[in-house]
């Protein structure tokens, strides 16, 4: 059954086809070679040539009747410098003729690229001009095929006999690059055509499209490099302390812009040669310098005299790239000097990477091969070009032969740049991952330090009859370097007194927090033995001398105060800000911060508070609060704020612009309680009798 069904399906197309006899009257296709081919003719071969220009600049050499039979013949696939006129600058003339039939469509020529300026004459009339002729000294660099219209019949019009067009091309080669670029048709480029105008336009579009396809890889690389460069620059904005992201972003963006500029120059002949030379040299130098700074950062290389010489040589290299304009150097010599200015930095990169790789540096081993490819190809390519400029028979782009030509080209240097880019991305991803893990560990350590600091700093302010105490502590980071302690001290008569310590450790973050932890421990230990501010300050100083470097912090300021129930205030200051009494700063002598010298004695200052007096202690985070304009809150504003509550002072400083830890302690003396006053009076009477 299945076989029968299959046979039926196979027979269906046969039944649907028309009978063979239906097409028997249709003739077979026939083509005529003489009449059906495209009206195009190649103009390659040998043209008449004459160096120099008309004596009177009358363009007489362009007229059809001029006798050029004595002119030598030059091939159209080589410049005149390769055919007996080496290094010749100035003018040169080419002549040839084209015979066309009596009846023909509108005609045009397509001339292959000439790296020089020229004018095309048809039957003695100027038909086209490419580039600028003298007195402009800058050469024309146009790699595109040019369409030259031919004056003659209108489309479909007949004439009595065939016509011979006399074509003359007046070429000018700039003397500033004549030793490098020969005048006339470019080396090994053929494809001069003549034919129907519409077909010539189509052929010209094909040639231009082919020219664009030659640089697809470079244009694609410029897009990728620019996107990656901007992304890496964004990483730098998030992590401004890691400058390697900045240098790598500059490196990639410079390469991307230079590749884009090269595509515009090679395909569209913009910008002009002088502008291209300037920016190309600057971008190459910028990329090289950024690369040196990047490797210096990631490999922790030393910045010695050789390093600075290498950097300066790379920075001045663009000067020699354009030194041939004013005639200071030939184009070959200028190019050679530029290469030799950049060569030391390339060698330095390879040496430092190789040395680090031998030391088992993972970063160096990851980058070594891509850097060798990029820098090696760049050096080799430029040296070959310079040798070619000196006239040595070496193909200028010998190592730049595309590895892949279809559907798009892939040049070795661009492939090396892509490999380098991928290696650098792998390196940066690895580096970013390691940094993220390190930050996570650091944040865990900060959180632990914050918890420890919260345990050390007083959570609840002791409420002592006769005193109204307020404290505000606002660290600038997760943990801070300010500290304060308010410890109740029982007097000999049973009255409640206060021991206040306020201080600031130079620095922020974990090192400062560790120092604060040690200081608070010392304060609590010493307060068990003495409540004298001078003795406490001296003990803190002796315990801290030489310990700042252990915690990676600097000096420490401190203010110790003893306030009795009767209002008697005793102060010892170790470099801290003086307190304010009712909005007026208490005068205090200068003193060294803690830990500077051993055996320091701190002078005691005494004062008597009256009921209703307010005492205010602040850290320098209040005075040094800074707004967006860079203006400090300052001592005058701080003094004006000192009569307010601790919360109001801290909030005002924070709103103004907090840049450091803020600590504010205010104590309002309300007077001793009645019981304390009786005890104090009895104590005074007893002392008087004794």
pLDDT at 491: 74
Can you give the pLDDT at residue 437?
A: 80
CB 108 within 8 A of CB 148: yes
* Sheet with 107-111, side-by-side order of all strands: 40-42, 193-196, 107-111, 146-149
- Tell me: pLDDT of 182 over 90: no
CA distances, 51 to each of 73, 137, 241, 339 (Å) = 12, 18, 63, 34
The Cα–Cα gap between 51 and 92 comes to 4
Separation of alpha carbons 342 and 84, rounded Å: 35
Residue 389, phi then psi, degrees to nearest 5? -65, -30
- Segment 259-263 shows an average pLDDT of 92
Closest by CA to 314, choosing from 378, 400, 222, 243, is: 378
Residues contacting 489, CB < 8 A, separation 6+: 496, 497, 498, 499, 527, 531, 562
pLDDT tens, 54-79?
876 667 899 988 999 999 999 998 89
Upstream peptide bond of 489 is cis (omega within 30 degrees of 0): no
A 10 A CB-CB count for 446 gives 17
Global pTM value: 0.66
Would you call 53 helix, strand, or coil by DSSP?
A: coil
Pairing of strands 584-585, 614-618: unpaired
Distance CA 368, CA 352 (A): 10
DSSP for residue 114: B
pLDDT band, very low/low/confident/very high, at 677 (cuts 50, 70, 90):
very low
pLDDT tens digits along 541-592: 888 887 655 554 567 899 999 999 889 999 999 999 999 999 999 988 888 8
List, in sequence order, every beta strand (DSSP E) within 84-241: 90-100, 107-111, 117-122, 125-130, 146-149, 163-173, 193-196
State the average pLDDT for the chain. Answer: 82
Q: How many helices (H) and strands (E) does the chain have?
A: 16, 20
Q: Report pLDDT digits (tens) over 188-200.
A: 667 899 988 889 9
User: How far apart are alpha carbons 110 and 195 in whole angstroms?
Assistant: 9
Average pLDDT on 381-407 reads 68
């Amino acid at each position: 059954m299945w076989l029968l069904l299959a046979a039926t399906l196979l027979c269906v197309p046969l039944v649907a086809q028309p009978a063979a006899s239906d097409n028997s009257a249709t003739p077979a296709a026939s083509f005529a070679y003489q009449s059906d081919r495209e009206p195009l003719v190649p103009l390659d071969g040998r043209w008449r040539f004459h160096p120099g220009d008309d004596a009177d600049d009358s363009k007489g050499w362009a007229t059809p009747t001029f006798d050029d039979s004595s002119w030598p013949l030059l091939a159209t696939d080589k410049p005149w410098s390769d055919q007996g006129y080496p290094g010749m600058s100035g003018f040169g003339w080419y002549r040839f003729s084209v015979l066309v039939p009596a009846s023909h469509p509108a005609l045009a020529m397509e001339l292959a690229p000439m790296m020089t300026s020229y004018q095309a004459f048809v039957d003695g009339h100027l038909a086209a001009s490419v580039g600028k002729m003298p007195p402009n000294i800058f050469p024309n660099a146009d790699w595109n095929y040019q369409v030259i219209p031919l004056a003659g019949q209108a489309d479909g019009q007949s004439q009595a006999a065939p016509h011979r067009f006399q074509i003359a091309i007046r070429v000018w080669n700039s003397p500033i690059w004549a030793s490098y670029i020969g005048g006339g048709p470019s080396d090994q480029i053929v494809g001069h055509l003549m034919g129907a105008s519409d077909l010539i336009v189509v052929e010209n579009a094909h040639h231009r499209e082919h020219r664009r396809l030659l640089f697809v890889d470079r244009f694609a690389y410029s897009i990728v490099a620019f996107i990656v460069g901007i992304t890496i620059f964004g990483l730098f904005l998030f992590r401004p302390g890691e400058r390697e992201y900045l240098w790598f972003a500059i490196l990639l963006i410079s390469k991307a812009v230079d590749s884009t500029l090269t595509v515009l120059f090679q395909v569209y002949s913009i910008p002009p040669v002088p502008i291209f030379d300037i920016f190309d040299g600057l971008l190459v130098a910028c990329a090289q310098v950024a690369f040196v700074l990047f490797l210096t950062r990631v490999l922790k290389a030393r910045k010695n005299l050789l390093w600075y010489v290498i950097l300066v040589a790379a920075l001045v290299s663009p000067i020699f790239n354009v030194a041939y304009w004013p005639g200071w150097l030939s184009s070959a010599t200028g190019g050679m000097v530029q290469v030799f200015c950049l060569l030391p930095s390339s060698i330095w990169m390879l040496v430092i990477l190789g040395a680090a790789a031998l030391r088992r540096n993972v970063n160096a081993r990851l980058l070594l091969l891509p850097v060798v490819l990029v820098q090696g190809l760049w050096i080799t390519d430029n040296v070959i070009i310079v040798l070619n400029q000196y006239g040595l028979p070496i193909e200028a782009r010998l190592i730049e032969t595309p590895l892949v030509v279809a559907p798009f080209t892939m040049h070795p240097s661009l492939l090396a740049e892509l490999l380098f880019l991928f290696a650098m991305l792998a390196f940066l991803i690895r580096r970013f991952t390691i940094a993220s893990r390190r930050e996570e560990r650091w944040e865990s350590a900060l959180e632990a330090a914050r918890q420890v600091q919260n345990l050390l700093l007083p959570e609840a302010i002791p409420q002592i009859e006769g005193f109204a105490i307020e404290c505000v502590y606002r660290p600038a980071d997760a943990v801070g370097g300010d500290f304060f302690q308010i410890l109740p001290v029982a007097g000999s008569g049973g009255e409640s007194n206060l021991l206040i310590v306020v201080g600031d450790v130079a620095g922020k973050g974990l090192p400062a927090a560790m120092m604060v932890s040690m200081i608070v421990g010392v304060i609590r230990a010493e307060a068990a033995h003495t409540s004298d501010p001078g003795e406490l300050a001296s003990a803190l100083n002796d315990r801290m001398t030489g310990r700042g470097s252990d915690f990676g912090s600097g000096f420490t300021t401190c203010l110790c105060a003893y306030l009795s129930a009767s209002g008697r205030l005793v102060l010892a200051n170790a470099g801290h800000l003086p307190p304010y009494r009712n909005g007026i700063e208490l005068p205090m002598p200068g003193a060294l911060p803690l830990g500077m010298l051993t055996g320091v004695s701190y002078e005691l200052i005494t004062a008597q508070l009256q009921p209703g007096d307010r005492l205010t202690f602040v850290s320098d985070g209040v005075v040094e609060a800074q707004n967006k304009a860079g203006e400090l809150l300052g001592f005058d504003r701080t003094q004006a704020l000192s009569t307010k509550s601790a919360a109001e002072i801290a909030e005002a400083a924070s709103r103004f612009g907090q840049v450091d830890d803020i600590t504010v302690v205010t104590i309002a003396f309300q007077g001793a309680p009645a019981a304390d006053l009786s005890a104090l009076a009895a104590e005074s009477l007893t002392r008087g009798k004794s």
